[in-house]
Amino acid sequence: MRKYHPFLVTLHWLMVLMIPLSLTAGGIILANLPNDNPAKVTFLGGHMGFGLTIGAVLIIRLITRIRSTHPARATTGNEFLDRISLWTHWGFYVLIAGMVLTGLATALSAGLLPIVFGGSGDPLPATFDGLPQLFLHGFRAVLLIALIVLHILAALYHQFILKDGLMGRMWYGKRD
C-alpha cells in the first residue's frame, strides 16, 4: 500500500485549510474585537460554527483512518525521531479535539449558544477575560501551532533530506 485512502487525503488537506483559518479567526480577529462591537456576534457565530465543523471532520477522519488500509508507518531510520512522529500524529487528534471541547466549554460558560445561534437578542458578556475555559482554549492553540510547525518540518525533512517521497503518500493516485 503506497498511499492513503483518497477520502482520507481529502480530509487531511481540508484540515490543512480549516485549522489555520480557525487559529487566525480566533487568535487575531476575535481576540481583538471588543464584545460591544455590533459585528462580534456574527464573527463569533462563524468561528463557533466552523470550529464545530472541524470537530465533525475530525471524527469522520478518525473513523476513516481506522477503517481504511494505509501505508506502513514511515521511518526515518532513527528510533527517537520515529517515536516523536507517532506522538505528533496522535497529538493532533488530542489537541484538535481539545480545541473544540474547550471552545464549546467557553461558549457554554459565557452563555453564548442562545445569543449566537438562538437569536435571543441578549447582549454579550462585557468580556470573556478571566474565563479558565478560554485560557485553556488559547493555551491549546499555542501547542497546536507548535505541533503544526513540527509536522511541516518533519514532512520537509522526509521530502528533501531523506528523499523518500513521503508527501506523495498523502496525495491521490494508484495505491498499490
Asked if 71 interacts with ligand HEM (CB under 6 A), we say no
C-alpha angle 167-55-37 in degrees, rounded to nearest 5 = 110
Asked if 41 interacts with ligand HEM (CB under 6 A), we say no
Pick one of 3, 11, 41, 48: the residue that binds ligand HEM (CB under 6 A): 48
Asked if 100 interacts with ligand HEM (CB under 6 A), we say yes
Give, as ranges, the residues between 119 and 148 that touch ligand HEM (CB under 6 A).
128, 134, 137-138, 141
The residue assigned the cell 462591537 is 37
The residue assigned the cell 449558544 is 113
Rounded to the nearest 10 degrees, how much is the dihedral formed by the CA atoms of 18, 21, 22, 26?
A: 180
The residue assigned the cell 501547542 is 143
Cβ closer to ligand HEM: 103 or 158?
A: 103
C-alpha angle 30-56-111 in degrees, rounded to nearest 5 = 45
Cβ closer to ligand HEM: 24 or 78?
A: 24
Residue 35 CB, nearest distance to ligand HEM (Å)?
A: 7
Asked if 115 interacts with ligand HEM (CB under 6 A), we say no
- Residue 7 main-chain phi, psi, to 5 deg: -70, -40
Give, as ranges, the residues between 77 and 96 that touch ligand HEM (CB under 6 A).
96
- Report the alpha-carbon distance of residue 71 to residue 176 in Å, rounded: 10
* Residues that bind ligand HEM in the complex, under the rule CB under 6 A: 19, 22-23, 26-27, 30-31, 44, 47-48, 51-52, 54, 96, 99-100, 103-104, 106-107, 112, 128, 134, 137-138, 141
